[in-house]
Structure 1
Amino acid sequence: MRNRLPFLSLSSYGVGWSVNRRIAMVTCVVAVLLAIAGIVAVVTGGGSGHQAAGTDASAPADSSPSSSEAAPEPSSGSGSVPKPPQIAEPVAYAKAAAQMLWSYDTRDTSRDQQLAGMRAWMATETKYADWASVSGQVPDPVLWSRMSDQDQHATAHVTEGHYPSAFKQALADDPSAITEAYIYVVTVNGTQQIAWKKGGSGAEERAVTLAVQCRPSHDCTLAAIAPSVTQ
């Protein structure tokens, strides 16, 4: 039986954390969302990704997320991580951000470059930007090195993005609430294709709920990977 290798996966977020740490992380994000739109958040125990039925059993296994850390300086480059697009529409930006989060290439991108590239997508308003929820998707240095040894890389296909019903209801109840931070909650669905040495490959369905900041007359930015909310 072939060894199962780690891979960058949103479904690993929060796995193995203590209950207190998970509650603290969720509380931080929910507090922001509640403050701007009165959203009722429903926290899922397994993170926001979903295992695809019929995925190749030899596909790499999810890794544990890294701890919160500062991103490397942009001067380190961002390897294969795409630059954030100039998009002012929340759903379109969230779809682009999800595709970025689900894609990586250890063949030409170091872990520091991956983090630096992801950081470029983040909101600059520290009051709303939750870098820990995003950087936590990247495996620790040892696991990234193992992935690199296997030339592991992934691409993503986004199928759709939408505002969860709880967010739409909150906006309908109080349309002016969004004007404090202009943070929109968007759920994105898609598929991630993973490949590695000797023709190894696998596929997995993905879903993630993102908090995206889109102030008027400004391009959108990524604020956080949010707890799952009512669809």
Structure 2
Amino acid sequence: MRNPFPSRSLSSYGAGWSANRRIAIVACAVAVLLAIAGAVALLTGNSSGHLAPDTARPAPADSPSSSEAAPMPSSGSGSVPKPAQIAEPVAYAKAAARMLWSYDTRDTSRDQQLAGMRAWMTTEPKYTDWTSVSGQVPDPVLWSRMTDQDQHATAHVTEGHYPSAFKQALADDPSAITEAYIYVVTVNGKQQIAWKKGGGGAEERAVTLAVQCRPNHDCRLAAIAPSVTQ
């Protein structure tokens, strides 16, 4: 049965965002580590995943809606898991990807989804790119349509790794990581989607995340980064 409404990965929605905000984050935190090899990718790369043809693109990054603040609903964050207490970058990125690829409109409002996702972000303004993460959530009208169909998704992560450009840059200059402690991790997996009347399907997923893992602290999500080098 074909899904009557677009399947949502919450990791591919918003792939058409302007790269300006992402460039600022990566330039401050990881451009040295990537040895500027990802400069072109920052301008042209998109997050992995698939947008449905009838899904409207989000507003440009300089519009008021693009920097949507995460609500703090009194009812909590619904089915969104609490931030993982993990201090290792790849393991944390895998947990974050699983969170981004999972949702349940049956018991979680859009505001709750945003609030739950916001809790995973680093609290250091210089290094956080909330726009790249909040842009993964469908707009209120589409979320309402998904809710009408009880649409929900679970995720299975198969692997996570440092992209080769990141590993090479870190090998070339190990001290470069010590300012922001931002690590770039690519995660692959599968998303299982279901909706009313037994509808469902599965899709392969991949996302590149920037995670901040300062010594003696749990990691935090900094941004959904454009794919640089797998």
Does the pair score TM above 0.5? yes
For the 8 Å contact 2:47–2:208, the answer to whether it is kept is yes
Classify the secondary structure of the residue corresponding to 2:37.
Answer: coil
Amino acid at match of 2:152: H
Instruction: Report the alpha carbon displacement of residue 229 of structure 1 after superposing the two structures with TM.
Output: 1.0
For the 8 Å contact 2:152–2:193, the answer to whether it is kept is yes
For the 8 Å contact 2:33–2:170, the answer to whether it is kept is no
Q: Write out per-residue CA displacement over residues 178-222 of structure 1, whole angstroms, 9 at most, x where no aligned residue.
A: 000000000000000100000110111000000000000000000
* 1:178 and 2:177 matched: yes
For the 8 Å contact 2:151–2:195, the answer to whether it is kept is yes
Instruction: Report the alpha carbon displacement of residue 146 of structure 1 after superposing the two structures with TM.
Output: 0.4
Instruction: Report the alpha carbon displacement of residue 46 of structure 1 after superposing the two structures with TM.
Output: 7.0
Instruction: Choose from 13, 28, 31 the match for 2:24.
Output: 28
Q: Which blocks of at least 5 consecutive residues in structure 1 are unaligned?
A: 52-59
Q: Given the two structures, how large is their TM-score scaled by the length of structure 1?
A: 0.87
Amino acid at match of 2:14: Y
Aligned to 1:223: 222
Classify the secondary structure of the residue corresponding to 2:46.
Answer: coil
Aligned to 1:54: none
Q: Which blocks of at least 5 consecutive residues in structure 2 are unaligned?
A: 59-65
User: What does 1:206-217 correspond to in 2, within 5 Å?
Assistant: 206-217=205-216
Percent sequence identity is 76
Aligned to 1:168: 167
Distance in 2 (CA, whole Å) between partners of 1:112 and 1:90 is 28
Aligned to 1:204: 203
* 1:80 and 2:79 matched: yes
Classify the secondary structure of the residue corresponding to 1:97.
Answer: helix
* 1:12 and 2:13 matched: yes
Classify the secondary structure of the residue corresponding to 1:11.
Answer: coil
RMSD between aligned residues: 2.2
Instruction: Report the alpha carbon displacement of residue 3 of structure 1 after superposing the two structures with TM.
Output: 6.8
* 1:131 and 2:130 matched: yes
For the 8 Å contact 1:211–1:226, the answer to whether it is kept is yes
Classify the secondary structure of the residue corresponding to 1:12.
Answer: coil
Classify the secondary structure of the residue corresponding to 2:31.
Answer: helix
